[in-house]
Amino acid sequence: MKKEEYFKPSVTVDTIIFTVRDLNVDNYRKLPEKKFQVLLVKRAGEPYKDKWSLPGTFVEKEERFEEAVNRCLQEKTNIKDIYLEQLYSWGDPQRDPRERVISTSYMGLVDIGDIQIKAGKNVEDIEWFNIKLNTIKEKTKEKKNGYYKAEEIEILLESKQATLKNRVKVVKEIVNGNTIIYTQILQSDLAFDHAKILIYAIERLKNKVEYTTIAFNLMPEKFTLTNLQQVYEILLDKPLLKANFRRKVSDMVIETEEYEENAGHRPSKLYKFNPNWQPHVF
């Protein structure tokens, strides 16, 4: 077959940018509630004009994926120099109504205090949305060489401007130690297949929190252990025992001689991430 006869799909990158933000509280003596958020942009053109979506762009001919991701974020959101990691590629033939488009997704984590978002190229608006997950249905079946689990998950995205309802079905099969995951969109207010990409990124983040230091990318340079625990609890979606948590992260942090300012309660000691931390090998 001649080179000219090969099919040439278009290639894009899509970015899922997460943060954890303190909500304003009336009682300054009370710890502020934290919300898990994702950054969305409102599309200025077709397809899906006026729909909210993940920031994305087409990859240029001589451009590496990482270059395209960073260009996209700078041009569309005013974000640069943040933690990014490649997640997965999406190639359903019908995922884009224009043409065959294959997309590679990237996950980014930011401390909200370090950035100033701004709607840019081909973007009508930009906003942080609170993420709320709710499992609607769940079915688990034991198999001879593994197990099968199917979940219907509601992904509610809320901001001052809009409430976006999404519902996906996630099927996970483990056979002989190998994991296969299928995702189907049942309902979505997001553009393209971005509900599918979003739930995949959330699950990846939750899994990595358990055994890496990825959560520290959501923290400022100096933080209290209470605030760090709040972030872990929000990502894992469960409460953690204070003593157990502090024992687990003791090697990951370095104690400073500073205390938090403007606290309505007894000021807590500030810590920072230990860049020399290594995972324990058993």
Q: Which of 20-24, 203-207, 252-256 has the lowest mean pLDDT?
A: 20-24
**CATH 1.10.10.10 assigned to 219-273:** yes
Break the chain into its structural domains and give their ranges: 3-131+191-213, 219-273
In contact, 117 and 24? CB cutoff 8 Å: no
Bond prior to 47 in cis (omega within 30° of 0): yes
Amino acid type, 280: H
The average pLDDT across 174-187 equals 89
pLDDT at position 281, please?
A: 47
CA–CA distance, 88 with 99 (Å, rounded to integer): 20
Determine what percent of the chain is predicted with pLDDT higher than 90.
79
Paired tokens of 100: 């065959």
Q: Which of 7-11, 70-74, 178-182 has the lowest mean pLDDT?
A: 178-182
Nearest to 35 by CA among 44, 45, 27, 25: 25
Paired tokens of 143: 């198999």
Residue that is written with structure tokens 């079905």 in the block? 169
pLDDT digits (tens, 9 = 90+) for 234-279: 999 999 999 999 999 999 999 999 998 766 567 889 999 999 998 7
- Do the domains 3-131+191-213 and 219-273 sit in the same CATH topology, yes or no? no
| Residue 169 pLDDT greater than 70, yes or no | yes
Element (H, E) at 88: strand 83-90
State the average pLDDT for the chain.
92
CA–CA distance, 225 with 113 (Å, rounded to integer): 18
Nearest to 230 by CA among 16, 11, 22, 65: 22
In contact, 127 and 38? CB cutoff 8 Å: no
Please provide residue 202's backbone torsions phi and psi, each rounded to the nearest 5 degrees: -65, -45
Question: To 10 degrees, the CA torsion angle through 45, 46, 49, 52?
Answer: -90
| Residue 194 pLDDT greater than 90, yes or no | yes
CA–CA distance, 199 with 221 (Å, rounded to integer): 28
Element (H, E) at 199: helix 194-209
pLDDT digits (tens, 9 = 90+) for 80-131: 999 999 999 999 999 999 999 999 999 999 999 889 999 999 999 999 999 9
In contact, 85 and 107? CB cutoff 8 Å: yes
**What end-to-end distance do the CA atoms of the chain give, in Å?**
52
* Class (C level, CATH) for 3-131+191-213: alpha beta
pLDDT at position 282, please?
A: 36
Pairing of strands 10-22, 101-109: parallel
pLDDT at position 3, please?
A: 60
Element (H, E) at 22: strand 10-22
Please provide residue 71's backbone torsions phi and psi, each rounded to the nearest 5 degrees: -65, -45
Q: Which of 2-11, 143-152, 169-178 has the lowest mean pLDDT?
A: 2-11
| Residue 23 pLDDT greater than 90, yes or no | no
Give the Cβ contact number of residue 117 at 10 Å.
Answer: 19
The average pLDDT across 152-172 equals 96
Indicate the angle between helix axes 225-236 and 242-249, nearest 10 degrees.
100
